[in-house]
Structure 1
């Protein structure tokens, strides 16, 4: 027995993960591998809350010149998929950019 009468079971209360990972959403420690992202990084899945995540996810910043190019391509009435292919950006970034343009237009009118 340890001091305080807790015994050895008091040590188990510390959160421990076999692979050293913790879920960013719920801080759960039961993490399993869940495939790879499109850029080749390992994806993980929290078994407690079913949250999927990638560790050390880095997003490359987009230059203002490229954003201006996207806006010019939009004014030329090109297809959205075509703009994504030409500029090399993801569809999700393009949709977020469109949402900001729509909000900006709504504030000007």
Structure 2
């Protein structure tokens, strides 16, 4: 059994490019899930995740400054809450946060 390729119809892992792919159940949509035996990455082939346009991202950023609820922004713009959470995480990583409660030059009592 040496030299056996575990490939499903010649598919490759989208993360590492390996061909040792096995079936791994079904997603809630009924599509076949796959598992890479090399990097243990789980994926669904031909998934449909629509791309969010830069104009929509700019609109979401403007609405965040308007103190609207997160769910309200998702409903109004038409983005998923999971995408919105990932966008917020990316924003918090890109914005510097100061942990010092007193800025420099602040008079202490």
Smaller-chain TM-score range? 0.5 to 0.7
5+ residue gaps, structure 1, are: 1-8
5+ residue gaps, structure 2, are: 98-109
**CA positional deviation for 1:22:** 4.4
* Deviation string, structure 1 residues 42-81 (Cα, Å, up to 9, x no partner): 3223467653211244643322221121112212212112
Q: Going by fraction, where is helix more abundant, 1 or 2?
A: 1
What is aligned with 2:51?
Answer: 61
Q: Which 4+ stretches in 1 moved above 6 angstroms? A: none
What is aligned with 1:94?
Answer: 84
Q: CA RMSD in A?
A: 3.3
> Distance in 2 between the 1:99 and 1:87 partners?
18
Matched, 1:43 2:39: no
> Distance in 1 between the 2:94 and 2:7 partners?
46
Q: Return the index of the structure with the highest Cα Rg.
A: 1
Task: Check 1:83–1:21 CA distance in 2 against 1; reply closer, same or farther (3 A cut).
Answer: same
Task: Check 1:106–1:29 CA distance in 2 against 1; reply closer, same or farther (3 A cut).
Answer: same
